[in-house]
Amino acid sequence: MPQGQPSTVPDDGLTTRQRRNRPLVVVHTGEMKGKSTAAFGLALRAWNQGWPVGVFQFVKSAKWKVGEESALRALGRVHEQTGEGAPVTWHKMGEGWSWIQRPGTESDHAADAREGWEQVKRDLAAQTYRFYVLDEFTYPMKWGWVDVDDVVATLASRPGQQHVVITGRGADPRLVDAADLVVEMTKVKHPMDAGQKGQRGIEW
């Protein structure tokens, strides 16, 4: 964690407090694991601050993020029962986003991704959450399903104090440019190099 004084003081007309509390766009990218995991770790801090957490998982997966989902949902229940922390809402693409019902129909991934993004836009406009995880959202941008310029413009004009964390490989340069904080997870060493496959509790 960086310590001490910022290296420059910007000429942006904001007070230190205003600048400090400016809502952030955070991007976790790179080839290595830890991108989503660190985003869910950040969600723990948001929860503890009493910030409503909204998670949008943008890629359908056989394994999802079951551990993180169970734990964050449990924290949401803690909030319901005791008032500690904050509500947690978890949306998944591909199983049908929770705000739509399309039983029995085969869904189109591109349409699903676009629908998810439209809901994120509505939630940002309504300030539904204070902390958003758009998990693996780089991929629908990369595949052309969601327009990067629309994402950047929406993030730039979002109202209030909403923090947004976007994860996934190959973040678009326009998104990196628009972000306040970008972390790249780099591989140094991975057990699959030694022939080990993923395991329960570690990979999912």
Paired sense of beta strands 25-29 and 53-57, if any: unpaired
Give 12 or 106: the residue with its C-beta nearer to a copy of itself.
12
Give 78 or 114: the residue with its C-beta nearer to a copy of itself.
78
Q: DSSP secondary-structure letter at 123?
A: H
Whole-angstrom distance between the N-terminal and C-terminal Cα of the chain?
27
Q: Examine residue 48 and tell whether it contacts a copy of itself (CB under 8 A).
A: yes
Q: Examine residue 6 and tell whether it contacts a copy of itself (CB under 8 A).
A: yes
Interacting span for a copy of itself (CB under 8 A) from 69-77, 100-108, 110-118, 143-151: 69-77
**Contact (Cβ atoms closer than 8 angstroms) between residue 26 and residue 181:** yes
Residues 101-120 that bind a copy of itself (CB under 8 A): none
Among 95, 99, 111, 198, binds a copy of itself (CB under 8 A): 198
Interacting span for a copy of itself (CB under 8 A) from 95-103, 109-117, 146-154, 196-204: 196-204
Give 110 or 192: the residue with its C-beta nearer to a copy of itself.
192
Interacting span for a copy of itself (CB under 8 A) from 36-44, 98-106, 114-122, 147-155: 36-44
CA distance 165 to 55: 10
CA distances from 12 to 19, 153, 183 (A): 9, 20, 24
CA distance 132 to 126: 13
Among 125, 149, 159, 191, binds a copy of itself (CB under 8 A): 191
β-bridge partners, 195:
none
Interacting span for a copy of itself (CB under 8 A) from 33-41, 104-112, 120-128, 140-148: 33-41
> Which residue intervals of 29-108 are DSSP H helices?
35-48, 66-82
